[in-house]
Chain A
Amino acid sequence: MTPPGILDPRAIFARLRDDLPDGVLDHVLVVGSLAAAYHHAGDLVGGGVKTKDADLVVHPAGHTFTAQEIALRLLARGWRQKAPRPFEPGTATTPPDQLPAIRLIPPDHEDYFVELLMVPAGETPGAKAWVSVELPGGFYGLPGFEFLSLTMIDRQRGPDGIEYAHPAMMALANLLSHRTLVDHVMSSPIGGRMVQRYAKDLGRVLALARLASREEVETWPARWLFALQECFPTRWPELAASIGNGLRALLLDEEAFEEAWHCCNVGLLAGRGVTVTQLRAVSRQVLADAVLPVESRGRTA
Chain B
Amino acid sequence: MHDLAAALRPLGLVSYLDWATRSGMAEVGVDGPDFVSPGGSLLVEVKVGQGGARDLRAAVAQLALHARDFPEARVVLLLLRARMSATGLRAEWDRLQTVLLPEIASRLGLVALLEGDSVIAPDDEALRTLAENAAEVAIETKRARVDRSFEVMRVLLARWLLGQGRIAIGELQRQTGLSHPSVSKGLAALGDTVERRSDRGAVLRTFPQERWSQLLALAPTIRQTAPFVDQSGRGGDPQRLLDRLSRALPAGVAVGGVVAARHWHPGLDLHGLPRLDVSVHAPEGLMDKGFVERLDPALVPAPVGAPPLLVLHAVPRSESLFAQDGGAPPRIADPVEALLDLHELRLVDQADALLRHLRRKA
Which residues of A come within 8 Å of B, CB atoms? 210, 214-215, 241-242, 244-245, 248, 251-252, 272-275, 277-278, 280-282, 284-285, 287-288, 291-293, 295-296
- Mark B6-39 against chain A: 1 for CB-CB distance below 8 A, else 0: 0000000000010011111011101000000000
B240 touches A (CB below 8 Å): yes
Contact call A287/B231, Cβ cutoff below 8 A: no
B233 touches A (CB below 8 Å): yes
Partner of A214 from B24, B233, B240 at Cβ < 8 Å: B240
Contact A285-B240, Cβ < 8 Å, known A210-B234, A292-B26: no
Bound: A295/B297 CA distance, A: 18
Contact call B27/A296, Cβ cutoff below 8 A: yes
Q: How many inter-chain contacts with C-beta < 8 Å in the A-B complex?
A: 65
Contact A275-B234, Cβ < 8 Å, known A248-B24, A292-B24: no
Bound: A275/B30 CA distance, A: 31
- Mark B79-97 against chain A: 1 for CB-CB distance below 8 A, else 0: 0000000000000000000
Partner of B24 from A215, A245, A274 at Cβ < 8 Å: A245
Partner of A282 from B17, B298, B300 at Cβ < 8 Å: B298
Residues of B207-241 whose CB lies within 8 A of A = 230-234, 240
Contact call A288/B28, Cβ cutoff below 8 A: yes
Contact A215-B21, Cβ < 8 Å, known A274-B233, A285-B298: no
Residues of B in contact with A, size category: 20 to 34
B192 touches A (CB below 8 Å): no
Residue from A244, A274, A285 having most chain B Cβ neighbours under 10 A: A285
Residue of A nearest to B30 (CB): A296
Bound: A288/B297 CA distance, A: 7
Contact call B28/A293, Cβ cutoff below 8 A: yes
Contact A214-B234, Cβ < 8 Å, known A281-B297, A288-B297, A296-B27: yes
Bound: A277/B231 CA distance, A: 7
12 A-B pairs within 8 Å (CB atoms) are namely A210-B232, A210-B233, A214-B234, A242-B24, A245-B24, A248-B24, A251-B22, A272-B233, A281-B298, A281-B300, A296-B26, A296-B27
The smallest C-beta distance from B26 to any residue of chain A, in angstroms, reads 7
B136 touches A (CB below 8 Å): no
A241 contact set on B, CB distance < 8 A: 24
The smallest C-beta distance from A125 to any residue of chain B, in angstroms, reads 19
B296 touches A (CB below 8 Å): yes
Residue of A nearest to B23 (CB): A248
Contact call A293/B298, Cβ cutoff below 8 A: no
The smallest C-beta distance from B27 to any residue of chain A, in angstroms, reads 4
Contact call B232/A282, Cβ cutoff below 8 A: yes
Bound: A28/B220 CA distance, A: 62
Contact call A278/B24, Cβ cutoff below 8 A: no
Contact call B24/A295, Cβ cutoff below 8 A: yes
The smallest C-beta distance from B36 to any residue of chain A, in angstroms, reads 14
B233 contact set on A, CB distance < 8 A: 210, 272-275, 278, 281-282
A244 contact set on B, CB distance < 8 A: 24
Bound: A296/B32 CA distance, A: 13
B230 contact set on A, CB distance < 8 A: 281
Contact call A281/B24, Cβ cutoff below 8 A: no
The smallest C-beta distance from B341 to any residue of chain A, in angstroms, reads 25
Contact call B232/A292, Cβ cutoff below 8 A: no
Q: A292-B28, A293-B27 are in contact. List 10 more A-B contacts (CB 8 A).
A: A210-B232, A248-B22, A248-B24, A251-B22, A292-B21, A292-B24, A292-B26, A295-B24, A295-B27, A296-B27
Contact A284-B297, Cβ < 8 Å, known A248-B24, A292-B21, A292-B24: yes
